[in-house]
Amino acid sequence: MDKDFPISGWSSLAVHGGHTQDPMYAHQVPIYASSTYVYDTAEQGMRRFSGKEEGYIYSRWGNPTMTEAAEKITALETFGVTDRSANPIQAKGILHASGMAAISTLMFATLKPGDKILTHFSLYGGTDEMVEKILPELKIESVITDLRKLDGVEEIIKNDRAIKMMYLETPANPTIQCVDLDELSKIAKRHGLIVACDNTFATPYLQQPFKFDIDFIIHSTTKFLNGHGTAIGGILLGRDIEFMKTKVTKVHRLLGGNSNPFDAFLLIQGIKTIELRMERHCANAMQVATYLEQHSAVAKVNYAGLDSHPDHRTAIKQMKHAGGMLSFELKKGLQAGIDFMNKLKMCVRTVSLGTCDTLLSHPASMSHHGVPKEQREKYGITDGLIRMNVGIENVQDIIADLEQALS
Ligand SMILES: Cc1ncc(COP(=O)(O)O)c(C=O)c1O
């Protein structure tokens, strides 16, 4: 594709974005399985190391297959987003070994001992542990609150000058709670905070945090971006290109959380169908949520697309559709959850999310088995809660499987 072709649609960008013509004329980007790169002369090596000449040096630092994946995601996250002067925004993405590796680079590149992070109480478990257990050992503490209650947020920031970052995740794993990107970013910017957003559940197709002046975006690409459950991966994107090229690149290279060309290749192929998959995930999720809401065995359905969801207004304000993730609570508790999971015939019993196939997990007996009941219930993880990644199968089959498992 010519670089100056004015792409106007999501799928065109998802298919062609980030692609560089291969020097050997391969149609698809090759899997560059090479740890290091050669120089024609010693002088060329010197120029590469000094940064006077662009070029690859060592695959922990960068690799052509990984670059293509990073540039594709960057193209999607910035697509149609303009700054205050109506100019298209710029960003840089760095591919990582996992979502957690991307989050680690973000924290180490932006925070120092004595700084604090302000965040919402419902976050992906790994991020929560990082914020509550790992960072405090480095004297980086957190202030954890309900960021859906906007009224108190400014006071918290005013009263604690050590807060340097506002860290958001919306919709959040596993509760599907949503926080207001626009309002929170405005408050944070009034006080000079860095704002970061984990956009894993939404994907850039449904929500573009850069529209709301967010500084950094993180994805676990393991999920909807890959879309097929074939590789672990992550990406960190930043609006300040200079900072991304200097401090963030340095931290990424030295922490060693780099991706690899095989996983990057799988990610690139997965991203090409993102629009088709997300449309179907969302349409199916809405139908499944509506079905579950009227089922007599179900006490409650958490889906941001339903009017009954407390954050429905926030979700529709900032997302194209409400996403492919939902959770629901069985009236009869723990044993009902275990029995339901055992009866599933087509939908898959597993953790993780974002794949074409419908995946269900029962946090109380699986991912949160070791968490004391009172503690997990504070976060809405009750005995009968089932988390569901609604897949792209034909929806009547998903509902038929749920129906027989609930009976
Ligand atoms: C919202 C969210 N962020 C980050 C992560 C961590 O990603 P990874 O498992 O790729 O390290 C996950 C994993 O489930 C997640 O759901």
pLDDT 10s digits, 182-210: 999 999 999 999 999 999 999 999 999 99
Regarding the beta carbon of 388 and ligand 1, being less than 6 Å apart is answered no
d(CA 243, ligand 1 centre) in Å? 24
pLDDT 10s digits, 317-349: 999 999 999 999 999 999 999 999 999 999 999
**What band does 174 get if pLDDT is binned at 50, 70 and 90?**
confident
**What band does 277 get if pLDDT is binned at 50, 70 and 90?**
very high
d(CA 124, ligand 1 centre) in Å? 7
pLDDT over 90 for what percent of the chain?
92
**What band does 214 get if pLDDT is binned at 50, 70 and 90?**
very high
pLDDT at 350 over 80: yes
Q: Give pLDDT, residue 3.
A: 79
Regarding the beta carbon of 234 and ligand 1, being less than 6 Å apart is answered yes
Bigger pLDDT: 211 vs 122 = 211
**What band does 29 get if pLDDT is binned at 50, 70 and 90?**
very high
Regarding the beta carbon of 173 and ligand 1, being less than 6 Å apart is answered yes
* Distances from the Cα of 9 to the Cα of 13, 15, 216, 300, angstroms: 6, 10, 24, 37
Q: Give pLDDT, residue 261.
A: 98
pLDDT at 380 over 90: no
Domains of the chain, earliest start first: 10-30+62-271 (3.40.640.10), 275-406 (3.90.1150.10)
What the block records as the tokens of 320 is 């194209």
Q: Give pLDDT, residue 243.
A: 98
pLDDT at 379 over 80: no
pLDDT 10s digits, 76-106: 999 999 998 999 999 999 999 999 999 999 9
pTM of the model: 0.97
Regarding the beta carbon of 325 and ligand 1, being less than 6 Å apart is answered no
Regarding the beta carbon of 199 and ligand 1, being less than 6 Å apart is answered no
pLDDT 10s digits, 33-47: 999 999 999 999 999
Q: Give pLDDT, residue 114.
A: 98
C-alpha to C-alpha distance for 305 and 402, rounded to whole angstroms: 19
pLDDT at 381 over 90: no
pLDDT at 242 over 90: yes
C-alpha to C-alpha distance for 109 and 247, rounded to whole angstroms: 6
Task: Show Cβ contacts of residue 107 under 8 Å, excluding neighbours closer than 6 positions.
Answer: 117, 130, 135, 140
pLDDT at 72 over 80: yes
Task: Show Cβ contacts of residue 345 under 8 Å, excluding neighbours closer than 6 positions.
Answer: 401, 404, 405
Residue nearest to atom 14 of ligand 1 (CA): 352
Mean pLDDT of the chain: 96
